[in-house]
Structure 1
Amino acid sequence: MLHLLTLSSLGRDLFNIKMLIVVLITIGLITLMTILTYLLEQQVHRRQNRYWTIVAHGAEALSVLISMILLRQIFITLNSGSIISWTYATVQLTILLFSLNTMRNLAVEIINLLMPLFIYGQAIWLGHSTQYLPVFLAMAIILISTVVYITHNYQELHAIHAYQHHQMGPVTMVMFDIDHFKAFNDQYGHLAGDAVLRHVAHFVELELNQRSTHGQIFRYGGEEFVIIFRGISALETGQIMRTIQRKLKTVPIKFNAQTLNVTVSIGISELQPTDQTFTDWFVRVDDYLYQSKQAGRDQTTVESQLLTD
């Protein structure tokens, strides 16, 4: 009998005009969040500034909270003050998992961990019933475990899945870092170091866009950067990056009347069928980057082979 009542409740939630309104609003919120995230992340990549990164990630997390609060108020209005609804839980979780997959920052991760507990815990409290408490606790543990796993394995899941299931051709990773970066900080100050980081990131991004390579550049940490190329082999990628590398050398940066010449060292490798995890691939590329440094810096190593001009 309880199962029939539950199914009946679910049916009433799924097939009515109120649900259509909520679905359309949810789609609108996801669209706005996507646009906001794209604009903010573009600025983060251009500025390469820790303060701006914190502000951008805070704004993304705030957009998630505002979306959830707005959905809550809409449900309260449509359901005469009640939020005990299958649809309510579903759309809230949709917003949460969408933000986790799209935004990928610490504040959004924390929201994804805490809000499901609030949503379902509140529903149990308002319903004044504990009959579903064991189910709630079990599902909360599963959900939290899933969120943590996705958060810490997103890049691995994305890359391996794309390579194995979408037949998109080769997927190539480039890792490069700025040669003697510490010397810029020590000799000219940290403002000079920041200027060099912005110069290199902006220069490489412009070169990739002009060549229509569809390469996605990310700052990995410190003076290191990673680029993912889809549909381009390691050898082709090596030729592209070697050209960019040589061109970067001819475009020094001006800082406080000083001319700073910048070079980078590069390691390149394709994702292989034998790579069981993202780490297998990442470590190999990092090793090739180290080989380029050992060869005297301002070098490019592709699949353990040093490129020559």
Structure 2
Amino acid sequence: MPDIILEKFINNYLNINSAIITLVTIGLITIITIVAYSLERKISRSSPFYKRITVHLLEGLVLGFSMIMLEQIFFILNSGSINNGWLYANAQLTILLYCMYLIRNKITLIINILMPILYYHSMNLPRLNNKDLPLFAISYIFLIIIVSFIYYQTENLENSEWKYLIMQVLFGLSWWIILWVDHSFPTIEILIMLIVFLIYMSIIRFCAKKLQDTMLNYDDLQVQVNYDELTGIRNRANLDKTSIELYKTYYSEKAVPLTIAMFDIDHFKEFNDQYGHSTGDEVLKHVAHTMEREMFLTDTKGQLFRFGGEEFIIIFRGKKPAECVPIITDLRNTLVNTPLILNGQKLDVSISFGISKLIEEDSSFEDLFNRVDKYLYASKNSGRNRLTVEGFTYNFDDLK
């Protein structure tokens, strides 16, 4: 008997069709991972409801498309028959469970809960007279509990290999009992199919982890390319790329203003000369972090960049220079009222600003930068700790 089971296992599972379905499943998992990863980066908990639900629906559509694609490929491999359906079922269960871990939204939860009902044999009315109906109902309820638990406890499960394995076993067991009610195959095969399902999940999890690690490495590279290593804010390269896009957008949209503010640290060279370059680095970080934190807390809608050296840029979309003056004044006041304490010594830091908006005469973003830079130096030449807006210089103390 064991020899027969082993021979059947080898014939059914170790063949070319099994290899193809496995590779197709890995390919679909890769597509799902890339799409989900790209979509989830576009939203956060603070995103509008319509935006979040749109992303979640798209993720659900990708999951549904993957299930249909897997079904079509399976039927092509089997010339339209349902032979070796266990292979197709295990592949589908693998995708369903994987998406529960990857795509953490209620759309995937609903799809997992409804799948036994959407599964065509489950709609057969003769089942109502089936003596195994209670077993189906119990297994279905058990599946709902397991799926819901996985959805709400994903992070805890991922942190424990044993919990993760137990949830896989319970998920696969409840599904194969449901399938057994319809097809009445030998009960020993539930165990065999469950083992195959766990092997599938191990393969998929390994491949998915490698894919996610690759994406994280790509993110790290993106951070290195687009963010300043010292201060952690956007760098000159990111500014250059952003400015090209902004010019195309806002130059054609005459009714929507775009304002640029450039500032630098007053007497920065003295920090380096008197205290050393390490202190100068701390001053740069202090200014960048204070400004970025305050911009986030007050929701200014501005973007902060390190332009180079001790110079910084803030881009304000949809705001006129006059609207930016009180924002910049508050940012400056926060910085002045938050001195840097370094090695027990208090270091007072002030900044000078130049502000201008994109105008029709600007042939490129470079024209705007040059004008803002000129206004910044007008503030510095007027005694520093000042603000020049479209050629007019003000003392910050007079703007309180």
How far apart are residue 266 of structure 1 and its match?
A: 0.5
Counterpart selection for 2:391 from 301, 304, 309: 304
Between 245-254 and 291-300, the greater mean CA deviation after superposition: 245-254
How far apart are residue 260 of structure 1 and its match?
A: 0.3
How far apart are residue 261 of structure 1 and its match?
A: 0.3
User: 2:320 aligned with 1:243, yes or no?
Assistant: no
Secondary structure (helix, strand or coil) at the match of 2:330 reads helix
How far apart are residue 249 of structure 1 and its match?
A: 1.5
Q: Is the 8 A contact 1:271 1:281 kept in 2?
A: yes
Q: Is the 8 A contact 1:162 1:168 kept in 2?
A: no
Q: Which amino acid in 2 is paired with 1:276?
A: S
Structure 1 residues 156 and 189: CA distance shift in structure 2, 3 A:
same
Partner of 2:127: none
Kindly provide the CA deviation profile for residues 26-66 of structure 1, in whole angstroms up to 9, marking residues without a partner as x.
5346458889599769987xx9534989xxxxxxxxxxxxx
How far apart are residue 251 of structure 1 and its match?
A: 1.5
Structure 1 residues 256 and 30: CA distance shift in structure 2, 3 A:
same
Structure 2: how far apart are the matches of 1:239 and 1:48?
A: 27
Alignment of 1:52-201 (within 5 A): 154-165=241-252, 169-201=256-288
Aligned length in residues: 196
Kindly provide the CA deviation profile for residues 242-286 of structure 1, in whole angstroms up to 9, marking residues without a partner as x.
222133212211011111000001101111122110100000000
Q: Is the 8 A contact 1:168 1:231 kept in 2?
A: no
Q: Is the 8 A contact 2:231 2:288 kept in 1?
A: no
Q: Structure 1: state its 5+ residue gaps.
A: 1-16, 54-149
Structure 2: how far apart are the matches of 1:36 and 1:223?
A: 31
Structure 1 residues 275 and 220: CA distance shift in structure 2, 3 A:
same
Q: Is the 8 A contact 1:156 1:278 kept in 2?
A: yes
User: 2:262 aligned with 1:254, yes or no?
Assistant: no
Kindly provide the CA deviation profile for residues 157-194 of structure 1, in whole angstroms up to 9, marking residues without a partner as x.
21112213456721110100111111111111112111
Q: Which amino acid in 2 is paired with 1:172?
A: T
Partner of 2:177: none
Structure 1 residues 251 and 38: CA distance shift in structure 2, 3 A:
farther
Q: Which amino acid in 2 is paired with 1:27?
A: V
Structure 2: how far apart are the matches of 1:226 and 1:252?
A: 21
Structure 1 residues 51 and 174: CA distance shift in structure 2, 3 A:
closer
Secondary structure (helix, strand or coil) at the match of 1:248 reads helix
Q: Is the 8 A contact 1:172 1:268 kept in 2?
A: yes
Structure 1 residues 25 and 252: CA distance shift in structure 2, 3 A:
closer
Partner of 1:27: 35
Q: Is the 8 A contact 2:295 2:302 kept in 1?
A: yes
Counterpart selection for 1:212 from 299, 321, 326: 299
Alignment of 1:280-299 (within 5 A): 280-299=367-386
Structure 2: how far apart are the matches of 1:19 and 1:41?
A: 25
Q: Which amino acid in 2 is paired with 1:306?
A: T
Q: Is the 8 A contact 2:251 2:358 kept in 1?
A: no
Structure 2: how far apart are the matches of 1:189 and 1:285?
A: 30
Structure 1 residues 258 and 246: CA distance shift in structure 2, 3 A:
same
Structure 2: how far apart are the matches of 1:281 and 1:220?
A: 14
Kindly provide the CA deviation profile for residues 57-102 of structure 1, in whole angstroms up to 9, marking residues without a partner as x.
xxxxxxxxxxxxxxxxxxxxxxxxxxxxxxxxxxxxxxxxxxxxxx
Q: Structure 2: state its 5+ residue gaps.
A: 1-24, 43-214
Structure 1: how far apart are the matches of 2:326 and 2:382?
A: 18
Structure 2: how far apart are the matches of 1:281 and 1:251?
A: 31
Q: Which amino acid in 2 is paired with 1:49?
A: E
**What is the TM-score when the length of structure 2 is the normalising length?**
0.43
Secondary structure (helix, strand or coil) at the match of 2:301 reads coil
Structure 2: how far apart are the matches of 1:151 and 1:180?
A: 27
Q: Is the 8 A contact 1:175 1:285 kept in 2?
A: yes
Q: Over the residues paired in the alignment, what is the CA RMSD in angstroms?
A: 3.8
Structure 1 residues 41 and 200: CA distance shift in structure 2, 3 A:
farther
Q: Is the 8 A contact 2:231 2:289 kept in 1?
A: no
Q: Is the 8 A contact 1:156 1:277 kept in 2?
A: no
Q: Is the 8 A contact 2:262 2:354 kept in 1?
A: yes
Q: Is the 8 A contact 1:245 1:298 kept in 2?
A: no
Partner of 1:265: 352
Secondary structure (helix, strand or coil) at the match of 1:228 reads strand
Whose relative contact order is higher, 1 or 2, with alpha carbons under 8 Å and at least 6 apart?
Answer: 1
